[in-house]
Amino acid sequence: MKEINESRSSARSVLRLNHVVFDKISFSRHGFMNQSEDETEVKLKMGVAIKKYDADKYTVSLQVLAEKEEEYSVEIQITGYCSIADDCGMRDAILKKNAVAILFPYVRAQLTLITSQPEIEPIVLPVFNISTIIDNMDISIQE
């Protein structure tokens, strides 16, 4: 058992997140909660952008837009500054899936926090299968 623990502690990921920052956190109120029985649904959009900015260095940005018609709109964008070898065989898949999967919980928590205010029904996003969502998005790495 001890040998397994030692080998795990020396294992390193090929992806390294050097910095994680929120680029934008925006909330705009357009009105008040709909009091009628017809509940207005929240429209969500998600976008991912990956850019190379130096040898073996990339930014991975995740943007989530939430809008409840005639009530509010929210925009949250987070960026991870990543290092991964350009010659890594799975570089694109790791940047697209793993980096986004690491960033998503931060956006999820911020979205809940910003909508947990007076006279707003909080948005609590369910746990998503990020891999499946990313597979359905057209994401290219800007070199």
What pLDDT shows up at residue 127? 81
Query: What number of residues does the chain have?
Result: 143
pLDDT in tens, 77-115: 999 999 999 898 899 989 999 999 999 999 999 999 999
What pLDDT shows up at residue 26? 97
Regions of the chain with pLDDT less than 50: 1-2, 4-9
b/e per residue, 121-136, with b = 16+ CB within 10 A?
eebebeeeebeeebee
pTM of the model: 0.83
What pLDDT shows up at residue 135? 79
What pLDDT shows up at residue 1? 46
